[in-house]
Amino acid sequence: MALLDSEVWAKKFFSDGWRDCDSEQPVVEPATGDRLGAVGLASAGDVARAAARAAEAQRAWAATAPQERAAVLRRAGELFSAHAGEIEDWLVREAGSVRAKASFEVRLAVGECFECAGLPTHPQGEVLTSEEARWSLARRRPAGVVSVIAPFNFPLLLGLRSVAPALALGNAVLLKPDPRTAVSGGVVIARIFEEAGLPAGVLHVLPGDGSVGQAVVEAPEVRVISFTGSTPVGRAIGERAGRLLKRAHLELGGNNALVVLPGADVAKAASAGAFGSYLHQGQICMTTGRHLVHESLLARYTEALAAKAAALPVGDPAREDVALGPIIDRRQLERVHGIVTRSVAAGATVAAGGEIVGAGYRATVLSGVSTDMPAWREEIFGPVAPVIGFSTLEEAARIVNDCEYGLSVGILGDVGTAMKLADRIDSGKVHINEQTVGDEPNAPFGGVKASGTGSRFGGAAANVEAFTETQWVTVRPDIADYPF
């Protein structure tokens, strides 16, 4: 039987095994509108039961030998690799990914599991000095139950990058995938860890509506919430978590800048800009949403980028060899087109694209843009590249920083000049001579300002900080003497 055989998961959700439920939701292919199956939806009551069971199972899981927890993560990585083709097919059909993006996402999932397999045996604290005649230690302990709320765009990776380290460090997890990608972002993860030998009750996958999202935040057993998604929703989760005295790790939106310095290779810069803006139809928090080009290169760069955009085919990635697949749903498609239309009405010029094609949107370049236009100010989450010019490094730094977000910046050209610019900008990530989209399992990932609460993903230091609590422990050779 295939890993994702629908007989296992259809009309069910995963909570201490596959459970029947009272409601279901169709799995829809965004490129065609075809029904691919149906997933079971959890309720707030299901979340309450799952949280109680997770708290019970977590104690035994945390007490499991580190080598055994590491072995589960390694087996999960091997299973992702063994079933890559099957998982990629779901990412293509359910999430609208082109094949190359789906393959890249699965490779990152494999790397995430292997990287996290080292966490159980990673140093878990430090020895402290003390004024007393005792040993003083600070050790890291599992947080307990962790809720993970994941988005639709990279549904597998953006759920797994919290699920895997949380499990590796001895926590139990409640995962709420986006209902639009509940198979590739939920069922896949449940089946992988089920086959990898994760004990029952440690992982629960709970697709559902906003009431389920609220329940996984508010469940008393949950101590940490890891959310990836839009800034407005992240603000609401952060506010609620604060009132409940829970930690919330928030990876939110971005309106990322690509700066093309004087003297840069225009052809290579345009290639980088096209990749940054059009990968996965621009539906990535790290997407290049703003192109700042030195005035000496502005016309040539805009022309080269428009030529790149015009050559990129749009269509159904499951049936055609295309560069851009569908936008996730009609509402988002119309939002993208609305931002372009409003910007053109404000004076921008469409140098390429600007059209809806079926369920997709043509790769678009906007010239004649000013910094007050919607295409420049807003996170578009679509394949749109607004371009403006700058004259000095000081002006470039001011324009980059004049944004509510601070996730990723790419700088193309002379390295020394790029380093000087990098020191002046506010961003969680800076890539010199690369575009803005980049992720590796061992690298810290996170943004500043409205892009989130900093790097709480990637690498041992960030993961240990995110999914454990610090406990102070002292040890004396004998009972201390006290004055009372």
Active-site positions read 251, 285
* Neighbour count for residue 244 (Cβ, 10 Å): 15
Closest CA to 111 of 178, 159, 63, 164: 164
E strand intervals along 79-209: 125-128, 135-142, 145-149, 172-176, 203-205
Q: What phi and psi, each to the nearest 5 degrees, are found at residue 104?
A: -60, -40
CA distances from 96 to 76, 311, 384, 385 (A): 24, 20, 17, 20
Q: Please give the structure tokens belonging to residue 119.
A: 């966490």
Per-position b or e across 80-109, b if 16+ CB within 10 A of its CB: beebbeebbebbbbbbbbbbebbbbbbebb
* Neighbour count for residue 300 (Cβ, 10 Å): 14
DSSP state of 445: B
Q: Decide: residue 343, CB within 10 A, 0-12 exposed, 13-18 middle, 19+ buried.
A: buried
Question: What H or E segment, with its residue span, contains residue 216?
Answer: helix 210-218
Q: Is the dihedral of CA 188, 453, 142, 77 positive or negative?
A: positive
The interaxial angle of helices 155-168 and 66-82, nearest 10 deg, is 160
Q: What is the 3-state secondary structure (H, E, C) of 355-420?
A: CEECCEECCEEEECCCCCCHHHHCCCCCCEEEEEEECCHHHHHHHHHCCCEECEEEEECCHHHHHH
Closest CA to 80 of 102, 58, 100, 101: 102
CA 476 to chain centre: 45
Say if residues 366 and 384 touch (Cβ distance below 8 Å): yes
CA 383 to chain centre: 18
Beta strand 429-432 pairing with 384-390: unpaired
Cα distance between residue 201 and residue 345, in whole Å = 55
| First vs last C-alpha separation in the chain | 70
Q: What phi and psi, each to the nearest 5 degrees, are found at residue 172?
A: -100, 155
